[in-house]
Structure formats: C-alpha cells, structure tokens
Chain A
Amino acid sequence: MAPPTDPVRAALDRAAAGGRLEDADALLLLERAPLVPLGRAARAVSRRLHPEGFRTYVVDRNINYSNVCDSYCKFCGFYRVKGEAEAYVLSKEEIRAKVGELKALGGTQVLLQGGTHPDLPMEWYEDLVRFFKSLDIHLHGFSPPEIQKMAEVTGLPVRTVIRRLRDAGLDSIPGGGAEILVDRVREIVSPHKIRTEPWLEVMREAHGLGLKTSATMMFGHRETLADRVEHLRRLRDLQDGTGGFTAFIPWAFQPTHAMARMEAAGAHDYLRTLAVSRLYLQNVPNIQSSWVTMGPKVGQLALHFGANDMGSLMLEENVVSTAGVRFRMGVAELRRVIEDAGYRPAQRDFFYRPLEAQPAPGAEAAVGAGA
C-alpha cells in the first residue's frame, strides 16, 4: 500500500501508532487537522496508554492560603496587593475547617496555592506545610512562581527551598504559573512573573528531589500556535530528562481583569489543543480535562479527545471563578459524564491510582466500548 501523501494524515497515523511528533507536525495538526480525525488519533494514544476501562477524577480542594501577590498578571482577577482591604492570609483555624470538610467528603488532597507574597519568610511556609501534614492529607502545593519568590525573599537557592518544603512534608507541586513557556508571551501577559527557564528549573529541581509535579498550559490569549508547540516541547524535553510530570492540563484563558475585552477560546480550539497535546506529550502519562472552564458537555468530550482524567471535583475554586466562570459538578455528575463516555468512573489519588476496587485483568470489558 502506498504511504499516505497527506502530511496531516501521515502525522496522525504516526502519532496514533506511538511515534514521536516533530514540532512541525504538531504545528501542522494545530493549524490544519480536521477536528474529529485528530480526536480519534488522540483517543487511540490515550487508550494505548490507559487500556484500563476506567477514567478518573480526584476529590480535592483548591485552598488559596493567601491572595497577596506582587506579580500583577494581566489575566488575573484574584490577586490583591499587600495591605488592601480584601487581602488575606488564611488562619490555621480556617485551614483546619476546610481540610475537615474535604476529608468528610472523601477528599484525598489539597491543591495549595497562593500568590507571590513579597515578604513571608521560609519558616512560615515550612510551618504551613507541617500544619497541613498534621491533618493527614496529600499536599499538592505551591507553584514555580511561588517557589521562586520564596527563593528571592529568603536568598536561598531554589533547590534548597524545595528541599526544605519537601522535608516539611510537601508531597508534590502543581504546574501552575506556566501560562505559555515562551518569554515573549510572558512579557506581555505576566511581565512581573517567573520566566520560562526559572519555571523549568523549579520543576527540574523538584523532580531531582523526588517530588512529582503536574504541568499546565493556559492558552488562547496572546500566544501563537507555534508558541503552544514550543511550550509543549519545553515540557517534553524536561520530561525526557526527569520523568517527573504526572499530568498535563491545558486550559483556555478566561477573559478578566486587564484582559477582559478578549474572547475565550471556544470548544474547537480547546479540543484541538487537547488532542495535539496528547499526541505530542506521549511521555507524560496523564492528560486532564478542563471542565471547570469548558463546562460539563465539552469537558466530557475531552475524554474522547485525548484526556484520561476529569481532574478535580473542586470543592473550592477561587481564581478562575473571579473571571466569572461558574461551572460546578458534584461527584454524581462527574461519574455520570464518565459513564456516559463509556468508561467506569474511578476516584483516584494524586498518583492516578484508583481508590476503588477494579475488576481483575481479563475481566474488564474491552476498551473501545466507549461511546
């Protein structure tokens, strides 16, 4: 049989079979691949990496320990300047109550994030981490911008900051603050925040110290499609070296604050970007759906466009909500959309291990019985 001459088809077939996409292929797919064939290829990769008949979600809570931040990102409506009336730092009592609510609902982890606080000392963060760990919960905390800020404020090397947080009990680090890992874009949307190399350095050091992390991409603002590919390439290259990323979460920018006049990416752009991410990042085990920004309907579609996880139940979510995004789903709803997509829903832990008993191998229905 003659090889396909259509470069889009050739790239899709190569990636679906497990081949590594070149940057030019990824850009071609972003620019030209028809949506549904792209989704089929991404779904094939997802099913090969995850032949199990279940798809997962995590019950966690996004606790923002403080909204004080001096990065002043143009797309953020959540931050407050230190001293403003609405600026806060959560007390331990408030944190204890939030974690108690989370555990009562079967939650297994806290996503702990704040801003880049201008003067909290390292000991404050260590004490915070130790307090969380005293509550017996997986702590998925901070982000590269926050860690770099800690290094700046304390004068400590990034590696030392991460090691001290790890030794205090930090379990893993979220991939927030990535936006687009291209400095030209970061200069436009978040000029006062960590640049690409330092972001990657934080993750490299974290992986080297045994901490797993996730990675994100906020797209649909000032970046080009080529910028998205470069973002993916930086992550893939780092993952080749460290293997420390557990998951990748692409999500669409939500217009707010200084960027309120922009438009959010639609479902087409989201699903296309998600699918290309799955095809390109075959060395990252998990891809999460962003139903919080895209809604339950499109969030569900993600399970057939490369995602294998529905992300978090989000008992609390403050940052995206300030952009006016109001999608909410409970456990029953999350499970319903997963089931309707043709999979068994399974609550998981941070390491994507199902917390529910699964059928023995061989007793599973064949993958491909999805909708």
Chain B
Amino acid sequence: MAPATPDAEVEALAVRVEEGGPVTLPEAARLCAGDVLVLGELADGMRRRVRGEGATLVRVEVLGWADAPAAAGPEPADEIRIEGAVPEGATPADLAATLSRAAAAFPGIPPRAIRPAEVGPLARAAGLTDRLLLARLADAGLATLAHPRPGDDPGATREGLLAAHGAEMATDAPVGFATRFTAESLAALLLSLRDLPGAAGRFRCAVPLPASLPEESPLTATTGLEDLRVFACARLLLPAAVRVAAEAAAVGPKLAAAALSFGADTLAGALTLPTERTTPATAERPRPFNADRARLLLAECGRPPSPPPPFPARTA
C-alpha cells in the first residue's frame, strides 16, 4: 500500500484520536494510509504511554475437545486453549464437562474456547439464546471465546462477540484482514470495533488475524508491512484500555516480535512445551514457539515480560 497521507497529517490525526477526539471514517482511513514506519513510531509511542516498557507474555496450554488433559508441566500456563472444531452433536453439557476437566487439570488457569461464529449454531442446536449458552459455559469455567478463523462469517463473528459481552464475558477484538486490504476497509473495521457498545470495557486485546497462514506464499498471504500496518493502526484507533496482542501462530513468531515495536504490547501463543534438546538429525524445524523462545525475543526487544492481567469478573 503506497502511503497517501502526509506524515504531519498522520501525526495530527493520531494525537487527536489518542486525546479522545472524534474521528470520522475518512479521517481514520487517511490515518491508516500513512507511511508504515510513521504509523509504527506513533503507535509505539502510544504503547509506551499507556503500557510502559514491559510486554505481556501469554503462555498457552493447548487442548483438543476430546483430549484428556495431562497434568500441568513445569512451565505454568497463563491460558488454556481448547482448539479444534466443536464435536458434532456436542451439547452444552458436553462442552461444560470438557471445560470442567480442563479446570480440574489446570486450576485457576482461564480456558478459551469456541469461536464467535460457532456460538449461534451451538445455541440454536441446544434451543438456547446465544447469551444464555455462553452464560452457562461461563458458569462451567469458560473465560473467553477463541479467535475467529479465516472464513468465519463476519456477521456471525460480530453476533458471537456481542453475545459474549451480553453474558458479561470479556473477549478479544479480532482484527481480521486479508492481503491487499485498503486503508478504508481497515479503518472501517477498526472503527466498528471501537464503536461496539462497551468496547473499552469488554475487549481485552485487539488481535490482528491475517486471513492466511504465515508460512503461505507471499502471493496469497499478507506481507510483513501489511501486518505491521494493522498492528499500528489498531493501537492508534482503538481505546487505550484495549491491549494489542501479537499472536505468534497467526503472524509468525518473527513478525510477532517486530510487532512489539509497532504498537503491540502483548506476545501471545507461547507454548508451555520445554525447549527440546535435540541433535541436528532430529531437530524439529521450525522449533515450536515456546515460552523460552518468547522470553528470548522479549529480551531482544528490551521488554521485560509480565503475566497477563486477570479476566474481569462476571457480574451477571
């Protein structure tokens, strides 16, 4: 994307937004069309002001719906992620049972499960409203929703997020984007998240999520500059209370580390697996992105790691 907005205008817009001033869609689009390094520097400045010099590290334990959770390893997790499609025909009681097993194996560690777009179909199958389904799963321990996947219906995703908020469940703000996006589309998405009722209170993290895997060809995947533009604009346009998280699995660990200088204050998705001591013949490439590697990358950036803040308590 060629920058179309002079640096001075980008800076003025960013200052106004950070000070709480109104911003129209055309103005937000002009900001999003700025030079990516200018945006990055502005976003990094804002990140420092609202978050300080550290970075939040989110270590995850990944489970499948059918897995029997193993005992916790030596590296504590900050979050449990139950991944994979919800088993066909699973009832709310089945889901709650899995959540209970996860809670028993990892006491006190919040589990994340169920994509926003899955909420509606699950609720309808169970004869429940979206909000009631989530309230029941929250009672069984569900802390928050999983991140959307490429291809998830945006409308269904929005409805799922609203249902979660209605059930007093904080969620992440997914910022999904595909390659060759326009400044206008990025601005519209970020403003729609910013303007969602109660956004500042119910969104924990904005999470840029490319519609492609990091290892895909540059012909179909988002580029590094596209990714960093989204990180920077998310920081600049979303409320200061909302963190900006770089998901290692979504953008790749290398790009995730770079994003920490473009507005991201959270590095997420570090596995609790220990670093394998392997010989070259058996070394796995690429090595799993684990907490050891995450801490090394944070040290490279000069950002001491801190644990994520607790999920806000539900009052419903």
A residues near B (Cβ < 8 Å) are 34-37, 39-40, 43, 77, 256-257, 260-261, 263, 265-269, 271, 294-301, 304, 324-326, 329, 332-333, 336-337, 340-342, 369-371
**Other 8 A-B pairs with CB < 8 A, given A268-B260, A329-B217, A371-B2:** A35-B258, A36-B261, A261-B277, A298-B255, A304-B225, A337-B218, A370-B2, A370-B3
A265: nearest residue on chain B (CB-CB)?
B300
**A131 vs chain B, min Cβ distance (A):** 34
Question: What residues of chain B lie closer than 8 Å to A267, measured between beta carbons?
Answer: 254-255, 257-258
The total of Cβ contacts below 8 Å across the A-B interface reads 122
Q: Does B78 have its Cβ within 8 Å of any Cβ on chain A?
A: no
Question: What residues of chain A lie closer than 8 Å to B253, measured between beta carbons?
Answer: 266
CB of B218 within 8 A of CB of A268, answer no
Question: What residues of chain B lie closer than 8 Å to A300, measured between beta carbons?
Answer: 218, 223-225
Contact with A along B278-312 (1 / 0, CB 8 A): 11100101100000010011001100000000000
CB of A297 within 8 A of CB of B252, answer yes
Among A77, A340, A342: residue with most chain B CB under 10 A: A340
CA distance A263 to B286 in the complex (A): 11
CB of B297 within 8 A of CB of A268, answer yes
Q: Which of B224, B278, B293 has a CB less than 8 Å from the CB of A260? A: B278
CB of B37 within 8 A of CB of A36, answer yes
Contact stretch, chosen from B123-131, B170-178, B226-234: B226-234
Q: Does B12 have its Cβ within 8 Å of any Cβ on chain A?
A: no
On whether A371 and B3 interact (CB within 8 A), knowing A336-B218, A340-B225, the answer reads yes
CB of B37 within 8 A of CB of A324, answer no
CB of B285 within 8 A of CB of A326, answer yes
Question: What residues of chain A lie closer than 8 Å to B41, measured between beta carbons?
Answer: 34, 36-37, 40
CA distance A43 to B3 in the complex (A): 15
On whether A304 and B3 interact (CB within 8 A), knowing A295-B254, A298-B254, the answer reads no
CA distance A304 to B258 in the complex (A): 13
A326: nearest residue on chain B (CB-CB)?
B285
CB of A324 within 8 A of CB of B283, answer yes
CA distance A271 to B3 in the complex (A): 21
Contact with A along B207-238 (1 / 0, CB 8 A): 00000001001110101111111000000000
Q: How many residues of B contact A (CB 8 A)?
A: 44
CA distance A340 to B217 in the complex (A): 14
**B156 vs chain A, min Cβ distance (A):** 29
Among A34, A326, A332: residue with most chain B CB under 10 A: A34
On whether A301 and B279 interact (CB within 8 A), knowing A296-B224, A371-B2, A371-B36, the answer reads no
A298: nearest residue on chain B (CB-CB)?
B254
CA distance A300 to B262 in the complex (A): 15
CB of A336 within 8 A of CB of B257, answer no
CA distance A267 to B223 in the complex (A): 14
Question: What residues of chain B lie closer than 8 Å to A77, measured between beta carbons?
Answer: 280
Q: Does B44 have its Cβ within 8 Å of any Cβ on chain A?
A: yes
Q: Is the interface of A mostly helix, strand, loop or mixed?
A: helix
CB of A337 within 8 A of CB of B223, answer yes
CA distance A261 to B293 in the complex (A): 12
CA distance A296 to B40 in the complex (A): 19
Contact with A along B239-265 (1 / 0, CB 8 A): 000000000000111110110111000
CB of B3 within 8 A of CB of A268, answer no
Question: What residues of chain A lie closer than 8 Å to B227, measured between beta carbons?
Answer: 297
Q: Does B18 have its Cβ within 8 Å of any Cβ on chain A?
A: no
Question: What residues of chain B lie closer than 8 Å to A37, measured between beta carbons?
Answer: 41
CB of A301 within 8 A of CB of B258, answer yes
Q: Which of B36, B44, B223 has a CB less than 8 Å from the CB of A297? A: B223
Question: What residues of chain B lie closer than 8 Å to A260, measured between beta carbons?
Answer: 278-280, 283
Q: Does B105 have its Cβ within 8 Å of any Cβ on chain A?
A: no
CA distance A332 to B217 in the complex (A): 10
CB of A342 within 8 A of CB of B3, answer yes
CB of B218 within 8 A of CB of A329, answer yes
Q: Does B1 have its Cβ within 8 Å of any Cβ on chain A?
A: yes
CA distance A261 to B282 in the complex (A): 12
Q: Does B35 have its Cβ within 8 Å of any Cβ on chain A?
A: yes
**B131 vs chain A, min Cβ distance (A):** 39
Chosen A-B contacts, 15 in total, with CB atoms closer than 8 Å, are A37-B41, A40-B37, A261-B277, A265-B300, A267-B255, A268-B297, A271-B258, A297-B251, A297-B252, A299-B224, A304-B36, A324-B285, A326-B285, A333-B219, A370-B3
CA distance A179 to B116 in the complex (A): 50
A258: nearest residue on chain B (CB-CB)?
B280
CB of B217 within 8 A of CB of A304, answer no
**B220 vs chain A, min Cβ distance (A):** 10
On whether A332 and B258 interact (CB within 8 A), knowing A263-B296, A297-B214, A342-B3, the answer reads no
**B217 vs chain A, min Cβ distance (A):** 6
CB of A266 within 8 A of CB of B297, answer yes
**B250 vs chain A, min Cβ distance (A):** 12
CB of B258 within 8 A of CB of A296, answer no
Question: What residues of chain A lie closer than 8 Å to B257, measured between beta carbons?
Answer: 266-268
CA distance A333 to B218 in the complex (A): 6
Among A265, A266, A340: residue with most chain B CB under 10 A: A266
Question: What residues of chain B lie closer than 8 Å to A304, measured between beta carbons?
Answer: 36-37, 225
